[in-house]
Structure 1
Amino acid sequence: MLDAANLPDDVAALKAMLIAARLSEADKAVQLARRDEQIARKDERIERLEKLVSAFKQAAFGRKSEKSDPDQFDLALEDLETAMAAIHAEDEADTPAGNRISKPRAINRGSLPKHLPRVEEVIEPESLICACGGCLHCIGEDVSERLDVVPAQFRVIVTRRPKYACRACTDGVVQVPAPARLVQAGLPTEATIAHVLVSKYADHLPLYRQAQIMSRQGIDLDRSTVADWVGRAAFELRPVFDALIADLKRSTKLFMDETRAPVLDPGSRKTKTGYFWALARDDRPWGGGAPPGVAFTYAPGRGGVHAERILQGFSGILQVDGYAGYNRLIATDRIGPDIRLAYCWAHARRKLVEVTRNGSAPIAEDGVKRIAELYRIEAELRGLDPKVRLAGRLERSAPLVADFDTWLVHHRARVATKSPLGEALAYIAKYWDGLKLFLTDGRIEIDTDVVEQPLSQPFCGLGGLSLQASTMAA
C-alpha cells in the first residue's frame, strides 16, 4: 500500500507511478493465467496417465478374457512411458536452470557396442591464451558418447561396360559380359533385396509399407514388384536352406519345437493359424565342434506328420517338449533307424509352478525345489567335456532323480487324478523315461531352452547358421 507521505508532488511522476502499478498488476494477471493454464494442462495429462495406468493394469492383471495380447500390452506401456517423459521435460523447462534437481532416470547401463564406427569431435575453447597472458595447456578431458544414426539412403549403382574395337582389323567388338543379377534386367541390387527380406521376415514390415517408405525418397514401386523380388530370392535361397537342413540332420543330437504363426487367409478376410517349426543344433554346452545353427520351416498345421517330413533321414537324440505329435517319430521306422526323444525339465517344472500360483501347494513347491537342485548342478557342469558332464550327473544328479521318482509315485497315489496337481504329476510321469535320458549321455541338455529362444526371435537364431524359411521355403 502506498504511503501518502511518500508520494511525489509532481503530477508527471504520479502518473508514471500509476502506469507502472497497472503494468505490474497486468503482468501478474498474465503470469497467473499462464500458470493456471499450465496446471490445467498437467492435470489433463495426469488424467490421461491414470487412464493409461488403468489400461496397463487391466492388460497385465485382468481376467483372462480381458487381457491384451503381448503386442498391445507393449504399446500401452510405450504410451505410458512417452507421456511421463513429456511431463518430466515440461517440468524441467519450467524450472530455472539453477533450481533444477536432477532426478534419477532409467538409462541403459554400459558403453555403446565397440563395433560401431566412432566419429570424434573435439570442442576447443575460443582462445588458449590465459587472462594473465600465458598459454593454456591441456590437463585432461571429459569424454561422452551418444548414439547417432544415418538414415537409410537409397543410391543408384551405375554400371558402364565400354565397347572396344580394333581400327586395323574387323575381328569384332570386345566388351565385358554383363554381371549376373538376381533379378534379370531388374532394378534392385542383391543388397536391396536382402534389406527387403530382413525388413519383412525379421522386422515384420509388410511389403506395401516398404513401398511407402521408398516412395518418400521418390522411388515409386508397386507392392507386386517388391513381392516379385522376394519370390525370386526365395527360389535362389532354397538350396541354401536345403543345405542347412541337410547339415543339421547329419548331427546326432538336435532340438525341435513349433509355435503358432498367424497367416493371412484372403478368402475369409481373417487370419488362420500356421506353425513355424524350428530345428536347431547347439553343441557349445559340451564343447562340440559343430557350429550352432537353426532352420525354420513353415507348415499349415501342428501334426506330427510335419515333424516327420522335416526330420526324414535323421537318426539320433531329439530334444523336444511334451507335445504328443512327436510320438509319431518313434512309433514308426520311417524317419530313421533310431530316434530317442529327450524331454524338457523346464516344461515339467512349469506344470508345478502353475499349481503354486493358485494358492498354497506344498507338494508342488517341494517338486519345484527338487528340480531347481538339478538345474544348479547343470549350471556347474555347463561347458565341460561330455564324459565329465556324464560322470558328474551320475554322481550328483542320478540320486536326486531316483529320489524324485519315488516322490512322484508316492504323491500320485494320494492326489486326485483330475486335480491340477494330479494332472501336473501325471504329465511328469508320462514323460519320465525321456526326462531322465540326460543321465545317459553328457551331450543331452536338461531342457529345450536352446530352441525356445530362437522361436521368440526367429532371425536372431543361435549366433551361427540360421535361416528362416517361412513363406520363402514353404
Structure 2
Amino acid sequence: MLDTVDLPDDVAALKAMLIAATAREARKDERIERLERLVAAFKQAAFGRKSEKADPEQFDLALEDLETAIATIHAEDEADAPAGNRASRPRGSLPKHLPRVEEIIEPEILVCVCGGCLHRIGEDVSERLDVVPAQFRVIVTRRPKYACRACTDGVVQAPAPARLIPAGLPTEATVAHVLVSKYADHLPLYRQAQIMSRQGLDLDRSTLADWVGRAAYELRPVFDALIADLKRSSKLFMDETRAPVLDPGSRKTKTGYFWALARDDRPWGGGAPPGVAFTYAPGRAGIHAERILQGFSGILQVDGYAGYNRLIAPDRIGPDIRLAYCWAHARRKLVEITRNGAAPIAEDGVKRIGELYRIEAELRGLDPQARLAGRQERSAPLVSDMQAWLTHHRARVATKSPLGEALAYIGKYWDGLKLFLTDGRIEIDNNSVERTIRPIALNRKNALFAGHDAGAENWATIASLIETCKLNSVDPLAYLTATLTAIVNGHKQSLIEELLPWKFLSRDR
C-alpha cells in the first residue's frame, strides 16, 4: 500500500504507475472471472447430466481449490486497499450455545490530553470462531478399600462401574466418538487409528473394530425398537442402495443392499418424529422388502423398482399396502431425453410436471386437509390433462424409442403417481428417503465394501441411529454417549423405547 510520500513528482512517472495499476486490476478481475466460470462449469458437471458419471467428491475437492484461489485474490485485493476502504464481508452470527471466552482490550493510556481521566462511554464487540483441538484424556478411577479396626467383618469397597468394554481402555464417550467418526464423518477405522497415533495413542484398527462391534451389539435392541416404531405408522417411504460385501470364499465382493425405511411427516405437520432404519439384505428381490415390512399396513412411497410389485400382488397374504410412486423419477426420464437434443414432447412433459411441483411448494407445511383441497382444486385438472396428453403421445411414439420407454414408464405407474391427489399426507416424490440414504453411499465410497454380512448389519444398525439423530436435530455424539452409558448401567429392556433418538432431548433434561 503506497503513501503519498512514495509517489513520484514526475507526471510521466505518475501516468506510468497509473497505467500499470489499471492493468494489474484488469488482470485480477480477469483471473477472478475465469475462476468463477470454472466454478460454474464444475457445478454444472457435478449436478448436471448423470450420464457423465461425475464423482461428487472429486468435484467437491476441485471446487474447494477454485474457491480458495478466488479468496486468495480477494485477500490480495483487500491488502492493497487503504485501511479505511477495505470492504467488510457479511458473515452470519455464531450459535448462542457455544461457550464464550471474553477478552477485554483496554487502551494503553486512560488519561486525556487535557490531563483529565477518560470515562467509558460504550464499546465495540466482535466475535470470532475459535477451536480447541480434540484432546484425549485418561479417566483414573480409584476405589478405596475400608476395614474396621475393631473387628474382622470384612472389607468395604464401592462396586466397580459398569463398562461397555469389560476391562477395556475406552469410556463410552470414546466409543461413541469412533462410531460417529466412522458412520457420520466417513472416517474408516485405520484412518482414525492414524489420527490417534499423532497424540501418542498406539491403538490399531482391530482394537477399534472390537469397540465398534461390541457397541453395535448393545445398540441392536434400540435399532429394533426404532424399526418397530416406524412400522406402526400408516405412511412410510422405502428405497434401496447397493452394499458391496466382501465374499471371503471367492476373495471378491458380492452385492448386497441396504433397504431404507423412513418416516417424515414434517411437510404436513404430522406429530410423529422423523426417522430412518436401514436393513441389510443379501439381495434386491421384493421378498426382502416384504420381510422388512412385515406387520406394516398403509401407504408406502417408492420409486418404480419392479421388486415392490410383490407388495401389492393379488395373491399376497398380509396387511394391505398401497404404493405411491415418485414424480421425480418420472420427470428424470424425460429430462434425460431433453439433454440429448431437441425433444418438444419431453420438454412439454417436464414443464407439466414442473407445474405440479410449483403447487406442491406452495402447499408445503399445510395440514393434510388443506393440502388435499389445494391438490383437488389445482393439481387434479393438470393431472387429468396430462393423462390425455400421455395417451395421445404413447399412441404416436415408437415404443422402443427412449421417449416411448419414458412414456411407458409413466403410464405403467400412473395409478400410483396420481395417488397423492387422494391423501394430503402423501408426498409428490420419494426424495425424503433418498436424502437419508446418501450418507450410506458416502460411507461406501470411503470404505469400498463391508467386510462380511455381519459387518454390513452393524453398519446398518449404527447408521440408522445416527441418521435418525440428524433428522431430529440431535447431536449423534451426545446421543450415543448417553445411550451406551444407559445400556451398560442396566437400562431396562422393557423401557428400551425411551432410548430412541427423538426422546434424547427430553431425557437429557
TM-score range (shorter-chain normalised) is 0.7 to 0.9
1:322 to 297, 304, 314: 304
Instruction: Give distance in 2, aligned partners of 1:286 and 1:53.
Output: 40
CA distance in 2, matches of 1:391, 1:375: 16
Equivalent residue for 2:471? 463
Letter of the 2:175 partner, please give it.
I
Residue 180 (structure 2) aligned to one of 188, 198, 211: 198
2:294 paired with 1:312: yes
Alignment of 1:289-438 (within 5 A): 289-331=271-313, 336-438=318-420
Letter in 1 for 2:203: L
1:69 matched residue in structure 2: 55
- Counterparts of 1:401 and 1:333 in 2: how far apart (Å)? 31
What amino acid does structure 2 have at the position aligned with 1:368?
V
Q: Identity of aligned pairs, percent?
A: 82
Cα distance in structure 1, aligned partners of 2:408 and 2:212: 47
- How far, CA to CA, are the matches of 2:300 and 2:263 in structure 1? 10
Contact 1:241–1:295, Cα closer than 8 Å, also in 2: yes
Q: Deviations over 1:280-316 (max 9, x none)?
A: 1112222222111111223343322322222122111
TM-score, L = length of structure 2: 0.73
* 1:333 to partner: Cα distance: 6.2
CA distance in 2, matches of 1:382, 1:87: 42
Q: Distance in 2 between matches of 1:408 and 1:290?
A: 37
User: Do the aligned partners of 1:329 and 1:335 also contact (CA within 8 Å) in 2?
Assistant: no
Counterpart of 1:463 in structure 2: which amino acid? L
Alpha-carbon separation, structure 2, partners of 1:233 and 1:403:
55
User: Partners of 1:393 and 1:65 in 2: how far apart?
Assistant: 34
Once residues 377 and 64 of structure 1 are traced to their aligned partners in structure 2, the CA distance between those partners, rounded to angstroms, is 27
* Partner AA of 1:415 in structure 2: V
Cα distance change on mapping 1:65 and 1:267 into 2, 3 Å: farther
Specify every segment of 5 or more residues in structure 1 that has no aligned partner in the other structure, as ranges.
1-38, 468-474
Which amino acid in 2 is paired with 1:136? Answer: L
Whether 2:220 is the aligned partner of 1:235: answer: no
- Tell me the CA shift for residue 84 of structure 1: 4.7
Name the counterpart of 1:156. 138
Query: Equivalent residues in 2 for 1:211-250 (5 A)?
Result: 211-250=193-232
> Which residue, 169, 179, 186 being the options, matches 2:151?
169
Checking the alignment, whether the CA contact within 8 Å between 1:308 and 1:335 is kept in structure 2 is no
Q: Which amino acid aligns with 2:300?
A: L
1:349, 1:232 → 2: CA distance?
45
> Going by fraction, where is helix more abundant, 1 or 2?
2
Residue 272 of structure 1: how far off its partner (Å) = 5.3
Change (3 A) 1:63 1:190: closer
1:9-158 matches, within 5 Å, as 60=45, 68-86=54-72, 95=80, 98=82, 102=86, 109-158=91-140
Q: CA deviation at 1:77?
A: 2.3
* Inter-partner Cα distance in structure 2 for 1:366 and 1:148: 52
One of 173, 179, 190 as aligned partner of 2:161 = 179
Relative contact order higher in (CA < 8 Å, ≥ 6 apart):
2
Moved more, 222-231 or 417-426: 417-426
Q: Which runs of 5+ in 2 are unaligned?
A: 1-23, 441-465, 477-509
Equivalent position SS for 1:443: coil
Whichever residue aligns with residue 210 of structure 2, its letter is D
Q: Secondary structure at the match of 2:93?
A: coil
The question of whether the paired residues in 2 share the 8 Å contact of 1:294 and 1:465 is answered with no
Shift of 1:269: 7.2
Aligned residue for 1:290, secondary structure, equals coil
Q: SS in structure 2 opposite 1:438?
A: helix
Q: Which amino acid aligns with 1:214?
A: M
> Residue deviations 1:176-195, cap 9 Å, x none?
21111101000000000000
Larger radius of gyration: 1
CA distance in 2, matches of 1:224, 1:98: 58
Residues 116 and 465 (structure 1 numbering): CA distance in 2 closer, same or farther, change over 3 Å?
A: closer
Matched residue of 1:81: which SS? helix
SS in structure 2 of the partner of residue 164 of structure 1: strand
Conserved 8 A contact 1:321-1:344: yes
SS at match of 2:258: strand
Which residue identity is paired with 2:304? G
Equivalents in 2 of 1:302, 1:99: separation in Å? 64
Residue identity opposite 1:298 in structure 2: Y
- Distance in 2, Cα, partners of 1:119 & 1:337: 58
Distance in 1, matches of 2:198 and 2:371, equals: 57
